[in-house]
């Protein structure tokens, strides 16, 4: 689960203000999660791509990311930030509102005013599926900068060196997370898949959005994993 900044809010708030919102929303959400029964099924996060997926940050990269976050100086937020959490998460409303009481935050679930931040829930596991990566780019959850989307995808697909592909993917994630924030990841869901041999999973074992007919009978194939 994550908050997505609308295109209007990315213009409304400066880079430092958006980085500040990233830190404040994540801290508030993580504290509220730790005090909730939901902690049994959700894991707090500050990144888009889970550690079990292609494109995940290494330990060294994660440390650099955290140091960059810590280096943000004092920020005073004067503009109102409108947050749409979604009716299914209203149990977090009171806790989040209390945690953000010192900044001009307003929850607009039932308001006609356009939100600045919208909560979204996506399956974010990744085995380098082209369709999945393309969808994240079009949803602006990966930031490829000034590159043309299709040109970037062609370059990614054509790159035979896995390390160079991961470099492209990690850069796109890091831009969206921090260098030019457009998303605020707050938690992942714990998901697992169980299958009995000799049946095999003929799709990404990290994804739970799969149709039954994609399960194949055989002696070879991928083994299930979970996030």
- Closest by alpha carbon to 193, among 179, 204, 180? 204
Work out whether strand 183-185 and strand 117-120 pair parallel, antiparallel, or are unpaired: unpaired
d(CA 110, CA 171): 36
pLDDT tens-digit map of 78-98: 999 999 997 778 789 999 999
* pLDDT tens profile 97-149: 999 999 999 999 877 789 999 999 876 666 677 888 898 999 889 999 999 99
Q: What is the DSSP letter of 213?
A: G
181-218 confidence digits (pLDDT tens): 999 999 987 666 667 777 766 555 545 455 555 555 55
Decide: pTM greater than 0.85: no
**CA distances for 93 relative to 44, 134, 216, angstroms:** 17, 32, 43
Q: Do the Cβ atoms of 57 and 50 come closer than 8 Å?
A: no
């Amino acid at each position: 689960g994550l908050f997505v900044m609308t295109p209007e809010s990315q213009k409304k708030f400066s880079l430092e203000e958006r980085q500040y919102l990233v830190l404040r929303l994540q801290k508030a959400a993580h504290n509220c999660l730790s005090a909730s029964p939901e902690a049994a099924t959700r894991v707090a996060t500050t990144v888009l791509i889970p550690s079990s997926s292609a494109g995940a940050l290494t330990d060294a990269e994660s440390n650099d990311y955290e140091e960059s976050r810590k280096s943000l100086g004092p920020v005073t937020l004067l503009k109102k930030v409108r947050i749409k959490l979604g009716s299914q998460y209203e149990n977090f409303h009171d806790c989040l509102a209390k945690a953000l009481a010192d900044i001009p935050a307003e929850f607009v679930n039932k308001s006609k005013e356009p939100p600045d931040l919208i909560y979204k829930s996506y399956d974010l596991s990744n085995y380098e599926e082209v369709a999945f990566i393309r969808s994240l780019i079009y949803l602006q959850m990966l930031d490829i900068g000034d590159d043309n989307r299709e040109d970037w995808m062609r370059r990614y697909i054509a790159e035979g060196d896995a390390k160079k592909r991961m470099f492209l993917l990690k850069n796109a994630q890091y831009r969206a997370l921090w260098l030019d924030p457009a998303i605020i990841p707050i938690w992942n869901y714990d998901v697992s898949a169980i299958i009995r041999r000799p049946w095999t999973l003929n799709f990404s074992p990290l994804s739970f959005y799969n149709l039954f007919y994609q399960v194949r009978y055989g002696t070879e194939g991928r083994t299930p994993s979970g996030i």
